[in-house]
C-alpha cells in the first residue's frame, strides 16, 4: 500500500508518543496477566472437582466394603475439603474485587 498519498494529504505521518506506546503495552500486559490468573483459577476449579470425585469414589468403596482403609478415605476427604475451601476463598476475593471495581467512579 502506498502511504505517500495519505502523507501528502496530512503533511506528515502521524506520530505516536512514547507515553501512548507504554500505555498500550501496559494494557496488553494487564490483559495477559488477567488471562493468566483466570486460567490458573479455572485449573484450580478443575483440580477441586477432581479431588471431590476422588473423595466420593473412596467413600463409595468404603461403603461397599471394597476398602477397609479409613486413612485413605480420611485423606481424600480432607484434601477435597481443603481444596474446596481454598476455591471458595478465591471466588469470594474475585467477587469482592469485582464489586469494588464496579463501585469506582470514572
* Whole-angstrom distance, CA of residue 35 vs CA of residue 27: 12
Q: What is the mean pLDDT of residues 46-60?
A: 93
pTM value is 0.61
Average pLDDT over residues 43-62: 92
Q: Which tens digit of pLDDT belongs to each residue from 1-29? A: 444 554 454 444 445 567 666 666 666 66
- C-alpha cell at position 55: 473423595
Q: Does 31 have pLDDT greater than 70?
A: no
For the chain, what are the domain ranges?
Answer: 39-106
Coil vs helix vs strand at 105: coil
Residue with cell 471458595: 88
Q: What is the pLDDT of residue 26?
A: 67
Distance CA 23, CA 35 (A): 18
**Max intra-chain CA distance, the chain:** 86
**Whether pLDDT at 102 is above 80:** yes
Roughly how many angstroms between the first and final C-alpha of the chain, as a whole number?
Answer: 40
Amino acid at each position: 500500500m502506498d502511504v505517500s498519498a495519505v502523507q501528502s494529504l496530512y503533511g506528515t505521518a502521524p506520530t505516536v508518543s512514547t507515553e501512548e506506546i507504554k500505555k498500550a503495552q501496559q494494557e496488553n500486559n494487564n490483559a495477559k496477566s488477567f488471562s493468566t490468573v483466570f486460567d490458573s483459577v479455572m485449573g484450580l476449579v478443575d483440580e477441586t472437582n477432581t479431588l471431590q470425585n476422588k473423595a466420593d469414589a473412596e467413600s463409595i468403596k468404603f461403603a461397599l466394603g471394597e476398602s477397609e482403609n479409613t486413612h485413605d478415605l480420611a485423606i481424600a476427604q480432607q484434601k477435597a475439603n481443603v481444596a474446596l475451601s481454598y476455591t471458595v476463598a478465591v471466588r469470594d476475593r474475585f467477587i469482592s474485587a469485582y464489586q469494588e471495581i464496579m463501585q469506582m467512579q470514572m
